[in-house]
Amino acid sequence: MKRRHLFGAAAALLATLGLAGCNDDNKVETSGQQAASEPAKTYTWKMVTAWPKNYPGLGTAAERLAERVKVMSDGRLTIKVYAAGELVPALEVFDAVSRGTAELGHGAAYYWKGKVPTAQFFTSVPFGLSAIEMNAWLSKGEGQKFWDEAYAPFGVKPMVVGNTGMQMGGWYNKEINSLDDLKGLKIRMPGLGGEVLTRLGATTVNLPGGEVFTALQTGAIDATDWVSPYNDLAFGLHKAAKYYYYPGWQEPQAVLELLVNQKALDTLPEDLQAILTEATRAASRDMLDDYVYNNALALDQLKQQGVELKRFPDEVLGAMQEQSELVLGELAAQSELNGRIWASMKAFQAQVKPMHEISEKELYNWR
C-alpha cells in the first residue's frame, strides 16, 4: 500500500511537471510516448523541372529523387514532379521556386543567367573543372558558400542534385575545319560556351531541350550542343545532324541543381531537412554513375548507326580557350561576388591539377 501511494505521488508530480502522464491502467507514460502516438505532420511539395517527362538521366533523376525522399521520410514528405511545361516552362523554373509557386526546382544554373548572371559559374565553365573536381570545390572548398550567397536574395537554397560528367562538343550539319567555319553559324548553346562562340562569329540561341531536335531538323539552327551520347541518342539528334564533335570544351562537366524555396525549407523539421539533403546527395552520385554507364552504351549505338565522330581542330580549340579566358574575366569583373568566385575556382583548379596530372591523366593515356 505504501509503495502504491508513493508511486501515485511520484506520477502526479511528474504529470504536474509535464514529464509524464497516467493512462487508464495507472501506468506512467512519458511525453515522448505520448508524442509518438500522435500522427506525424505530413508535407506535400511540388517540384518543377526543366526536362521533358521521364527524360532519361534528367527527368528520371527527378522522379527517383522524389521517390527516395518519400521512402526515407516514411511518407511524411511527398513530392509531386512536374515536367517542363506542365506547370511552368522549362526556363522559368528558378522564378517559380523563388515566388513559391513550387517548393522545389530541378534544372541547370546557367538557364537563369538572364536573372542571375553569377549562376553560370555553378553549372560549368569552359575548359574548367572536371566532375569530381567540381563536386569537391562545392562540398569541400568555397563553392557552396558562394552559391548560397548568389541565390539568397531570391529566397532560394541551391543543392547539387547530379552531374552529367564531361559532355560532347555538339552536333553540326557542317564541318568545322577552321575558325572561318564558325562565322555565321546558328547554334544552340547556353551559358558561357555560347558567349565564347558569339565572340568567334557564331549566332547562339538558348533553347530548352524539348525544342532542340525540331530546330536542328528544320534548319532553324545549324548546330547544337546538348549533353552526351545517352541523352543525345534519346532525342534522336543523330537523325538531324551528320557530325558529332568532341571534346566538350564548353562543359567539361555539368552540375544539375535542386532549387529549394528557403521559406518552405525552414518550415520542415530538422529530420526532414536532413532527409532532403541526404537524398539529394545520393541522387547526385546516382546520376553520375548513370551517365558513365549509359554514355558508353549509347556511343556504341551511335557508331553503329553511322554517326561521324570528329575532333575540333587545335586551331579552333585554341581560339575557344583564349576567348573563354576573356569571357570569364569579364564575368568576374561584373561584381565583387563574381570576382571572388572566379578567383576561388581558378585557385582550386591550380591546387588539384598536379595530382591529376600524375594520376587520372597518366592512367587514361596508358589505357
Q: Is residue 236 part of a domain?
A: no
| Residue 206 domain-assigned (yes or no) | no
What average pLDDT does this structure show over 136-153?
Answer: 98
- The structure's pTM equals 0.86
Assigned domain for 183 exists: no
Contact 338, 331 (CB under 8 A): yes
Q: Which domain CATH number covers 347? A: 3.40.190.170
Q: Is residue 233 part of a domain?
A: no
Mean pLDDT of 182-199: 94
Structural domain containing residue 282: 40-170+251-367
User: Has residue 213 got a pLDDT over 70?
Assistant: yes
- Which range (10-14, 68-72, 192-196, 338-342) has the least confidence? 10-14
Q: How confident is the model at residue 175 (pLDDT cuts 50, 70, 90)?
A: very high
Preceding peptide of 247 cis, ω within 30°: yes
pLDDT digits (tens, 9 = 90+) for 33-59: 444 556 789 999 999 999 999 999 999
Centroid of chain to Cα 169: 19
Q: Are 253 and 130 in contact (CB under 8 A)?
A: yes
Rounded to whole angstroms, the Cα distance separating 85 from 242 reads 30
Decide: helix, strand or coil at residue 217: helix
The reported pLDDT for the residue numbered 36 is: 52
Beta bridge partners of 310: 245
pLDDT, tens only, 54-83: 999 999 999 999 999 999 999 999 999 999
* pLDDT attached to residue 201: 97
User: For residue 9, is it within any domain?
Assistant: no
Looking at residue 208, its pLDDT comes to 85
pLDDT in tens, 237-295: 999 999 999 999 999 999 999 999 999 999 999 999 999 999 999 999 999 999 999 99
Say which DSSP state 25 is in: T
What are the residues facing 43 on neighbouring strands? Answer: 77
One-letter amino acid at 227 equals V
- If you search the block for the grid coordinates 541551391, which residue do you land on? 158
Average pLDDT over the chain reads: 91
Average pLDDT over residues 151-155: 98
In a domain, 185, yes or no: no
Lowest mean pLDDT: which of 32-36, 72-76, 113-117, 344-348? 32-36
294 found inside a domain = yes
Whole-number Å distance between alpha carbons of 310 and 289: 26
Domain count, the chain: 1
315 part of a folded domain: yes
Spatial distance between the Cα atoms of 144 and 111, rounded to a whole number of angstroms:
18
